[in-house]
Amino acid sequence: MLLVLDVGNTNTVLGVFAQEAKAKPPRNGGAADDSPRYERLVANWRVATIATQTVDEYGVLFRNLFAMASLEAKEIRGIIISSVVPPLDSTLRGVCERYFNTQPLFVEPGVKTGMPVLYDNPAEVGADRIVNAVAAFMKYGGPCIVVDFGTATTFDCVSARGEYQGGVICPGIGISADALFERTARLPRVDMRKPVSIIGTTTVGSLQSGLYYGYLGLVDGILELLLQELGEHTSVVATGGLASLIGTGSKYIKQVDDFLTLEGLRIIWERNAGSKPARESAPPKAQRASSPATEPPATKAWPGKPRSR
């Protein structure tokens, strides 16, 4: 089995993929490819990201989650981690080595993603944004936009040729709500949900209406501008903790994919399994075979330093 972890500022999402052997047609008269693939998500969990927890505290938590799902830690053959919380990286590495007896693969410089990055400085792009983009292009094609509702809400754009173009970052709805509650003396914290009516008849209802419809307006306003850039046939997919809440009310979001990041981690693991990680991302096969007239502009590796001149 394959264990994938997406470590965010607020939550950490874990997933376990089961291994399935599928024979592939032989190439050029060679033997069939019987290499196993991790294609079936058998368990997933969302837990709080706590930077102060120790290796043993995280280890006990993960092993208990496995026990509740009737899974054996010894069956884990690989682990891949996407993290935007650097202080936790060494802790998670220790958890993988001590409790799963496995060296984890971090999505970091040197890992093959299969996606060229057009960011001015590729090292600035969060690992989770690249993971989402890889999964979205594989599942929905391009051009596409991924809206990830996390601590921050990110909008990531992928071209028709599978290039990561960049995107938009704005405060998440939770951050917006916290700022409102902390700056006002009499407004209570409210449950984040879609209100019954846009016109609130109570303080709680008014707050829920403002948070929900105000944030929905922000999301659709940004998507409208992005779609003008990328074209009206662009696929828009939402993921993240609040994707179901906001995504289902959007005019432009057509897909809500709760497991998009986990799928992206699985895809990147398979692209790196059995080979030494490359120093830069390889362009998609179709792009490599294209004629010189249709080659994209020079791209930069992700997430590493720009090439020296």
Tens place of pLDDT for every residue, the chain, 309 residues?
999 999 999 999 999 999 775 545 554 444 455 555 778 899 999 999 999 999 999 999 999 999 999 999 999 999 999 999 999 999 999 999 999 999 999 998 778 999 999 988 888 898 999 999 999 999 999 899 999 998 899 999 999 999 999 999 999 988 888 888 888 877 888 888 888 889 988 888 898 899 999 999 999 999 999 999 999 899 999 999 889 888 889 999 989 999 999 999 999 999 998 654 333 333 443 333 333 333 344 445 555 444 333
Which residues is 235 bridged to in the sheet?
A: 144
- Terminal-to-terminal C-alpha distance of the chain: 42
Contacts of residue 149, defined as CB under 8 A and 6 or more positions apart, other chains included, come to 172, 173, 238, 239, 240, 241, 242, 243, 245, 246, 247
Q: Is residue 128 annotated as part of the catalytic site, yes or no?
A: yes
pLDDT digits 0-9 by tens, 15-44: 999 977 554 555 444 445 555 577 889 999
Give residue 14's pLDDT: 95
State residue 36's pLDDT score: 59
Quick one: how far is CA 168 from the chain centroid? 15
Q: Using CA atoms, how far apart are residues 191 and 175, in angstroms rounded to an integer?
A: 14
Percentage with pLDDT > 90 across the chain: 60
**How much is the mean pLDDT over the chain?**
84
pLDDT at 289: 35
Report residue 189 as tokens.
Answer: 């914290």
What's the pLDDT score for residue 93?
A: 96
List the one residue out of 238, 182, 237, 181 whose CA is nearest residue 210. 181
Could you give the CA distance from residue 19 to residue 50 in angstroms, rounded to a whole number?
30
The amino acid at residue 204 is V
Choose, from 6, 128, 148, 257, the residue flagged as catalytic.
128
Residues contacting residue 129 through CB under 8 Å, at least 6 positions apart: 146, 148, 154, 156, 164, 167
Q: Which residues are 164's β-sheet partners? A: 117, 158
Residue 224 amino acid letter: E
Q: What pLDDT is recorded for position 184?
A: 85
Q: Is 271 left (phi over 0), alpha (psi -120 to 50) or beta?
A: alpha
Query: Please, are residues 20 and 13 in contact by the beta-carbon 8 Å criterion?
Result: no
